[in-house]
Structure formats: structure tokens, C-alpha cells
């Protein structure tokens, strides 16, 4: 029987398992292991248990990480695989994001209509993401937002059942669950993605030098640069799960170009800024977040209180 080299914790959803399998495959390729030397340990996260309310109303992003954090602390797993857009901006010092895998497509995909303009007048848009809701209302104030929670298959089933006319999903999630032909990808320059969208992160205990070393072999430097800069922006904004935040980053040599926008919940107010700065200096991206918030009217600023 082959000895286990690493125990990877993951949520049980099909997308989460696909992300853990990708992590396992990259570890095996990097270290010359066989597949059965990496054990996938599945946990049912709080966020997966509660599907009838928006995430922001039931505890925010911590609902995706809580159980895996506990298992890391208790030594039940060696590392945890996360969608980085679901990981709280401020993490315990006891944990380290040891690897960011090569980032997938950052775009959102519109499903149910060929374009934003083609959504029927007064169309129902199924989403529980404040960013998607606010950005849609900014472009199409006539539309109605309908709360949609659940994994990729659940939301597609709700759309098929007529609970909404259109919905929005991450291209990365569709690609990783073999639904690449579903919907219309939206131009990321016109429809800004979520911070860290499309990125898989692998976290372990900060004191676990052996696991840190093993995970370093699959860390993708360009993806880490963009994800950490976007997380620095989030830190400067101090946002919560109620905060509509959209951002697009691109590497240009040793610099990173970032465009970011924050919105009021009804989409009427949009504050946008851009910055090109050395990616080694995350403080500039934190300051960009603070500057955006300083310019925000009350309808936007109140969505960031307590962040």
C-alpha cells in the first residue's frame, strides 16, 4: 500500500473537488508522486449547508473556510484548497497561503441571453453576489435581482426551472466543471470580475515547514502577484460580503495595472480608479482601496462599514 505524502482538505462541492484534484495533479507532477500518494479529505462547509439565504446574511466568507481551518489546527489535514475569492482578506498568522495555482479565466459568463443588452426589459437576474447585482443594475437599472445560491449545477437548474431569466457564473468554475460551452463570457474590461476570481489557493499551517516546501513547488508567481495585489485592495477597502467590489489586474513587466470599482447596491453610484505600480509594493494597492472609499458617497460607504 502506498504511503500518503499529503492530506489535502477540500469542500465537498463538485467545483471544490475539481480544484482539489487539480492541486493533487500538480503536486504529483512536481514531485513525481503517484495519484494515491495525495489523499483528498472532504468536509461539508457551513456555506454549503445553508443555501436559502445570501452569504452576507449568514456569516460571510468564513463559512467557506471555518471547517478546513479547524481541521488544519487539529492536524486532520496538511493543507486546504480554496477558491481565493472565497477566502477572507485577513487570515490568522497561524496559516499561510503557500501556493496559488495558475489562474484560470477571470471573466464572468452570462447565461440565458447573448449579451447584457439582450436581456429582456425588466428581466430577472439570478445572483446573490453584491458585485454582480450592483454591476448589472448599473448597466440595466430596469432589471430585477433574484437571489440565487448554490453550486454551479444548482444555479443552472434554478435557471432552467424559470426562477430567473438570466444568471451569471464564473468562467473558471464552468471550465473546471467541464461546462465550457455554457453561456457568453463578458468582456472583463467592461464587466469587471471579482477580486481573486479564477484563482485556487492552497493554505497550510505556518509552522509546517515540510508542507510549505512541498507546496512551494506548485506556486505560480504571476498568479500570486495579481491575487495578492487584489487582496491588498480589499484590505484597503475593508469590505464585507455586502460590499460590491470589482477589479481587473494585468501584469506589465515588473508592474501591475489595476482597475477597480465599487458600487452602491442599486448600481446608481460607481466609483472607479486605476493604478499602475510595482507589484512588489502592495501598500500602493491598499492605498488605492482607501482612496476609492474616501471618494465614495454615503450610499456606497455604508456597504463597507465594519469591514
- Residues catalogued as catalytic: 86
CA distance between the termini of the chain: 49
Cα separation values, 188 from 134, 138, 200, 247, Å: 16, 15, 19, 9
Q: What are phi and psi of 104, to 5 degrees?
A: -80, -175
Pairing, β 166-170 against β 108-111? antiparallel
Q: What are phi and psi of 293, to 5 degrees?
A: -65, -35
List 43's β-bridge partners, or say none.
Answer: 11
Instruction: Tell me which DSSP letter residue 33 carries.
Output: -
Sign of CA dihedral 195, 200, 205, 206: negative
Cα separation values, 18 from 78, 167, 200, 246, Å: 18, 22, 11, 25
Amino acid at each position: 500500500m502506498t504511503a500518503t505524502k499529503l492530506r489535502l482538505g477540500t469542500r465537498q462541492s463538485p467545483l471544490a473537488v475539481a480544484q482539489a484534484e487539480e492541486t493533487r495533479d500538480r503536486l504529483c507532477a512536481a514531485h513525481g508522486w503517484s495519484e494515491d500518494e495525495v489523499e483528498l479529505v472532504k468536509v461539508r462547509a457551513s456555506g454549503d449547508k445553508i443555501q436559502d439565504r445570501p452569504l452576507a446574511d449568514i456569516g460571510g466568507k468564513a463559512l467557506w473556510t471555518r471547517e478546513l481551518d479547524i481541521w488544519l489546527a487539529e492536524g486532520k489535514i496538511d493543507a486546504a484548497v480554496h477558491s481565493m475569492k472565497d477566502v477572507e482578506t485577513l487570515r490568522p498568522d497561524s496559516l499561510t497561503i503557500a501556493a496559488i495555482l495558475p489562474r484560470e479565466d477571470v471573466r464572468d459568463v452570462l447565461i440565458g441571453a447573448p449579451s447584457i443588452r439582450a436581456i429582456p426589459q425588466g428581466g430577472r437576474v439570478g445572483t446573490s453576489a453584491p458585485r454582480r447585482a450592483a454591476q448589472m443594475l448599473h448597466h440595466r437599472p430596469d432589471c430585477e435581482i433574484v437571489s440565487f445560491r448554490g453550486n454551479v449545477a444548482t444555479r443552472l437548474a434554478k435557471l432552467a426551472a424559470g426562477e430567473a431569466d438570466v444568471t451569471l457564473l464564473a468562467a473558471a468554475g464552468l471550465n473546471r466543471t467541464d461546462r465550457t460551452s455554457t453561456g457568453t463570457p463578458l468582456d472583463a474590461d467592461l464587466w469587471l470580475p471579482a477580486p481573486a476570481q479564477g484563482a485556487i489557493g492552497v493554505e497550510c499551517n505556518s509552522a509546517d515547514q515540510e508542507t510549505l516546501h512541498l507546496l512551494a513547488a506548485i506556486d505560480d508567481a504571476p498568479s500570486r502577484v495579481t491575487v495578492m495585489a487584489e487582496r491588498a485592495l480589499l484590505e484597503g477597502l475593508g469590505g464585507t460580503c455586502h460590499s460590491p467590489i470589482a477589479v481587473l489586474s494585468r501584469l506589465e513587466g515588473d508592474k501591475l495595472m489595476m482597475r477597480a470599482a465599487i458600487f452602491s447596491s442599486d448600481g446608481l453610484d460607481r466609483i472607479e480608479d486605476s493604478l499602475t505600480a510595482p507589484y512588489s509594493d502592495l501598500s500602493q494597492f491598499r492605498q488605492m482601496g482607501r482612496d476609492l472609499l474616501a471618494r465614495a458617497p454615503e450610499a456606497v460607504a455604508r456597504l463597507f462599514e465594519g469591514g
